Amino acid sequence: MPGKGSYSVDMKIGVIGPGAMGCMFAGYLKKGGQDVYLLDCLLERAKNLQSAGIFIQGVRGDLQIKVPVTTKASEIGPVDLVLVWVKAYQTETAMQQHADLLDKNTLIWSAQNGLGNHAALARVAPAEQILGGSTTLGANLIGEGRVHHAGEGDTYIGELDGSISGRVKEVAATLTNAGIKVVEKTDINKVIWKKLLVNTAINALTAIMRVRNGALVEQAALVRVMQAVVEEGVQAAESQGINFDQADVFALVKDVALRTGQNQSSMLQDVLAGERTEIDFINGAIARLGAYPVNQTLTDLIHAIEASPGDLE
């Protein structure tokens, strides 16, 4: 594996998952001059993306760019860096399917939602090759290979053991050259938890209520539920040795809901599309850490919606 003092910005990169974030990162990295490949699990979609390319619109204008797309990692061979951009429940399967991207020198970076992705990756690849990450970039998939880049934000990267390393700087420099604002963090696990706490308070509620993010702060009843979710989440984080000020987290949650007021959360989008959600890796991850009844109830309600979305139009 690359030593923690190694440093380079020319990388061969495999991006797993042709969703909004996968296509956006692949497109920007390709534009930035990197040797990038997009990995898909569906042959027909891969062929379409290979032919049509990736189209990104939004806050940076329009970008139409061709990125090599395949379902067979064996056609690419080992890469320097793997970016994992599949749904949390797909992580282990996707990494197994594309294991030919890996050798002892490959770095793996996940900035996916929720808890449990790094553990899933470590069941396929050596844990010491995995880097932690998070991002506040906003993107929505509006069609195959078509992405709306809805908002800028920071992207975070760090060693999971909290150390400072050259390889973190290597990946950060590569992303920076692609126009992605990167912050290197020694406390990347706390960053991941902070995003988790925001998602627990917003995603499930918007999906259950069928509302955009901003609607959550307009009703006192929903605000109280969000506050209870945050309270449990902060307690769960503390049980894992990660400390937050509850008032600060709740203020952040309300701020995010307001700033993204017109957005549909990813969980709401999944529910509306009749697709499986990431609830088990968000509120469900909190519920599994102890007696946290509000998070458990939200998890159960989302599971009920997934099983039977209802018979009324």
Per-residue pLDDT reduced to its tens digit, 127-163: 999 999 999 998 989 999 999 998 899 999 999 999 8
Q: What is the pLDDT of residue 310?
A: 65
| Tokens standing for residue 238 | 């503390």
Out of 186, 216, 236, pick the residue that ends a domain.
186
Q: Where is average pLDDT lowest: 5-9, 68-72, 173-177?
A: 5-9
Residue position matching structure tokens 């850490």:
289
Residues 6+ apart with CB under 8 A from 84: 16, 17, 91, 94, 95, 108, 109, 110, 112, 117, 121
What mean pLDDT is reported for the chain? 94
Whether residues 206 and 63 share a domain: the answer is: no
From 186, 214, 247, give the residue that closes a domain.
186
> Residues 213, 295: one domain?
yes
**pLDDT at residue 77 greater than cutoff 80:** yes
Partners of 110 in the β-ladder: 84, 132
Instruction: Judge if 233 and 253 occupy the same domain.
Output: yes
Say if pTM beats, i.e. exceeds, 0.85.
Answer: yes
Question: Are 192 and 281 in contact, with CB atoms under 8 Å apart?
Answer: no
The verdict on residue 26 lying in a domain is yes
Confidence of residue 9 (pLDDT cuts 50, 70, 90): low
The pLDDT of 164-174, averaged and rounded, is 93
Residue 71: exposure state from Cβ atoms within 10 A (0-12, 13-18, ≥19): middle
How many structural domains is the chain composed of? 2
Considering the domain architecture, whether residues 257 and 154 belong to the same structural domain is answered as no
Instruction: Pick the range with the lowest mean pLDDT from 49-53, 70-74, 151-155, 308-312.
Output: 308-312
Does 313 score more than 90 pLDDT? Answer: no
Specify if 4 maps to a domain: no
pLDDT at 193 over 60: yes
In the predicted structure, residue 112 carries a pLDDT above the cut 60 = yes
Neighbouring CB atoms inside 10 A of 188's CB total 23
Residues 249-265: tens digit of each pLDDT: 999 999 999 999 988 89
Query: Any idea what DSSP says for residue 143?
Result: E
Q: Which domain holds residue 35?
A: 12-186
Q: What is the pairing mode between strands 81-84 and 12-16? A: parallel
Q: Active-site positions?
A: 195
Alpha carbons 114 and 283: distance in angstroms, whole number = 9
Q: How far apart are CA 266 and CA 256, in angstroms?
A: 14
pLDDT score at 311: 57
Give the pLDDT confidence of 34-57 residue by residue, as tens digits.
999 999 999 999 999 999 999 999
Give the pLDDT of residue 6.
Answer: 45
Question: In the prediction, which pLDDT does 1 show?
Answer: 41
pLDDT reading at 164 higher than 90: no
Question: How do beta strands 130-135 and 155-159 pair?
Answer: antiparallel
Q: Is the pLDDT of residue 278 over 70?
A: yes
- Which of 50, 92, 87, 52 shows the shortest CA–CA distance to 71? 50
Residue 309 banded pLDDT, cuts 50, 70, 90: low
SS (H, E, C) 99-126: HHHCCCCCEEEECCCCCCHHHHHHCCCC
> What pLDDT does 2 receive?
46
- Give the CATH number for residue 53: 3.40.50.720
Same domain, 274 and 161: no
Residues 161 and 210 in one domain: no
Q: How far is CA 180 from CA 7, 64, 92, 147, 183, in A?
A: 18, 17, 26, 16, 10
